[in-house]
């Protein structure tokens, strides 16, 4: 699919315009989005991505359309997994809830810049060396294996975060969502800038598996770029929409590992089909089965559906959901910035959720109610409620 220069220009201007709109109308004034607001805007951004995909389908043909949607769905799924790490980093730095929007938007911009750089490098490498598909396939298969390991609960102290802390010295406290503040008459950086740098550095690592994954589905640079960009747009709203659901997607890493392994195998098969390496079949192509884009799209969607359904219906997923809900209600019950009636309502929800968690199977009940940090939060909520 050949894309005219003016289409590239209009697309890039449109993406920048959406980011600018998001900043001016939603992020510039610090606030915590309501569930309704997050749901509406998340739906709007997904709708824009789908409409763009329909345009690709109409003007580029069925193959281009299938490649776009396969790439978009894969990148969106990987982006949701990235939210886990964003959440851990922001928790590590104790970013105020109302200011997290700014961190997320800047993180999205960093991610788009990093991925664009890797997309251009990947396109040049593929054009010059067909064996690059072997390398991309190997990267994805190794990443899939790593995803099967449990998420590091101490990701907030990862190499990139430690590097950011070493590079940037900041004040001990936040000043709203400002990057600079004044302490003892001196202008100093705030932790807000440090968090954004840490997330930006982490985005570079994310791009290492994100870009090879989509190149495993299409070699068209325009489709690679747009599918990646539209998967990142709306990620901020999605974060607040599924914040309570993230912990419940207990099998997400397994599902993503399966997707990346599948695309990795697809890349290796394609590399064998296009083989020019002299030590493999004498430099001749290897007659192997090539996986079509349509089959790729079907497999990716199927894996995601199974992953989400299995996570939501599993006892472990329900236990994670109860734990997240109890922590959220306990925090709201002692939040002095909320009116007394809201805190009382949060305490009632806490008691109701705690009671439901008591009905879980023994193993999962103990995992929730036996958690020391959770018990401490519940006890504090009870003490606060009793003192009123």
105-117 pLDDT tens trace: 888 888 899 889 9
Question: Is residue 345 packed enough to be buried (19+ CB in 10 Å), middle (13-18) or exposed (0-12)?
Answer: middle
Please check whether residue 145 is in contact with residue 253, taking contact to mean a CB–CB distance below 8 angstroms: no
The sign of the CA dihedral 131, 137, 140, 146 is negative
Query: Could you report the per-residue pLDDT of 5-28, keeping only the tens digit for each?
Result: 999 999 999 999 999 998 888 887
Q: What length does the chain have?
A: 388
pLDDT value for 95: 81
Assign 197 a pLDDT band (cuts: 50, 70, 90). Answer: confident
pLDDT value for 162: 65
Assign 158 a pLDDT band (cuts: 50, 70, 90). Answer: low
| Angle of the 100-128 helix axis to the 5-22 helix axis, nearest 10 | 160
C-alpha 313 chain-centroid distance: 22
CA angle 248, 245, 90 (to 5 degrees): 105
Query: Is a pLDDT exceeding 60 seen at residue 235?
Result: yes
% of the chain at pLDDT higher than 70: 93
Assign 282 a pLDDT band (cuts: 50, 70, 90). Answer: confident
More confident residue, 209 or 42: 42
pLDDT value for 150: 62
Say how far apart CA 213 and CA 210 lie, in whole Å: 5
Six-digit token string for 4: 């005219």
Please check whether residue 271 is in contact with residue 277, taking contact to mean a CB–CB distance below 8 angstroms: no
pLDDT value for 156: 46
Decide: helix, strand or coil at residue 173.
coil
pTM comes to 0.77
Residue 285 DSSP label: P
C-alpha 198 chain-centroid distance: 15
More confident residue, 303 or 187: 303
Say how far apart CA 289 and CA 95 lie, in whole Å: 50
Residue 189 DSSP label: E
Listed in sequence order, the residues at least 6 apart from 311 whose beta carbon sits closer than 8 Å to its beta carbon are 248, 249, 250, 251, 252, 317
pLDDT value for 246: 66
Six-digit token string for 149: 């390991």
Segment 373-377 shows an average pLDDT of: 86
**pLDDT, mean over the chain:** 84
How crowded is the C-beta side of 113, counted as CA atoms within 13 Å? 11
pLDDT value for 8: 95
Query: Could you report the per-residue pLDDT of 107-156, keeping only the tens digit for each?
Result: 888 889 988 999 999 889 888 887 888 998 898 998 889 888 765 444 44
Say how far apart CA 116 and CA 118 lie, in whole Å: 5
Say how far apart CA 110 and CA 201 lie, in whole Å: 8
Query: Could you report the per-residue pLDDT of 206-232, keeping only the tens digit for each?
Result: 787 788 989 988 989 999 999 999 999
Query: Is a pLDDT exceeding 80 seen at residue 352?
Result: yes
pLDDT value for 277: 87
Give whole-number Cα distances, 38 to 16, 34, 44, 176, in Å.
20, 6, 10, 21
Alpha helices in the chain (DSSP H): 5-22, 35-60, 62-92, 100-128, 132-147, 159-167, 191-215, 221-232, 235-241, 243-246, 252-273, 293-313, 315-333, 340-357, 362-369, 372-386
Query: Is a pLDDT exceeding 80 seen at residue 166?
Result: no
With tokens 């929800």, the residue in question is 349
Query: Could you report the per-residue pLDDT of 251-263, keeping only the tens digit for each?
Result: 888 998 999 999 9
pLDDT value for 258: 93
Closest CA to 110 of 221, 5, 236: 236
Give whole-number Cα distances, 74 to 10, 213, 262, 279, in Å.
24, 8, 11, 33
Query: Is a pLDDT exceeding 90 seen at residue 326?
Result: no
């Amino acid at each position: 699919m050949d894309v005219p220069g003016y289409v590239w220009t209009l697309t890039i201007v449109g993406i920048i315009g959406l980011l600018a709109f998001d900043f001016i109308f939603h992020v510039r004034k610090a606030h915590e989005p309501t569930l309704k607001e997050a749901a509406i805007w998340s739906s709007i951004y997904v709708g824009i991505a789908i409409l763009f995909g329909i345009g690709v389908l109409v003007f580029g043909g069925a193959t281009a359309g299938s490649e776009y949607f396969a790439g978009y769905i894969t990148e969106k799924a990987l982006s949701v997994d990235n939210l886990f790490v964003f959440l851990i980093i922001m928790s590590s730095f104790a970013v105020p809830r109302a200011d997290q929007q700014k961190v997320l938007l800047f993180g999205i911009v960093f991610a788009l810049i990093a991925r664009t750089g890797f997309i251009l490098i990947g396109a040049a490498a593929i054009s010059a060396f067909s064996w690059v598909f072997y390398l991309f396939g190997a990267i994805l298969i190794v990443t899939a294996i790593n995803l099967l390991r449990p998420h590091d609960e101490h990701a907030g102290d990862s190499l990139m975060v430690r590097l950011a802390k070493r590079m940037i010295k900041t004040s001990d406290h936040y000043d709203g969502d400002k990057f600079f503040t004044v302490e003892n008459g001196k202008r100093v950086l705030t932790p807000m800038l440090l968090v954004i740098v840490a997330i930006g550095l982490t985005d570079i690592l994310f791009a290492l598996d994100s870009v090879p994954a989509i190149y495993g589905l299409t070699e068209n640079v325009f489709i690679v770029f747009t599918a990646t960009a539209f998967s990142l747009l709306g990620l901020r709203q999605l974060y607040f929409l599924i914040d309570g659901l993230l912990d419940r997607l207990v099998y997400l890493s397994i599902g993503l590992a399966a997707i990346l392994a599948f695309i990795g195998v697809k890349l290796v098969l394609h590399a064998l089909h296009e083989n020019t390496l002299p030590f493999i079949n004498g430099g001749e192509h290897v007659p192997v089965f090539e996986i079509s884009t349509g089959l790729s799209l079907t497999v990716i969607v199927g894996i995601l559906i199974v992953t989400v359904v299995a996570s939501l219906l599993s006892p472990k997923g329900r236990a994670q959901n109860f734990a997240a809900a109890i922590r959220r209600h306990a925090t709201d019950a002692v939040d002095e910035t909320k009116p007394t009636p809201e805190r009382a309502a949060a305490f009632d929800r806490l008691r109701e959720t705690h009671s439901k968690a008591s009905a879980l199977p023994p193993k999962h009940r103990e995992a929730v109610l036996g958690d020391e940090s959770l018990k401490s939060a519940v006890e504090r909520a009870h003490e606060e409620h009793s003192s009123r």
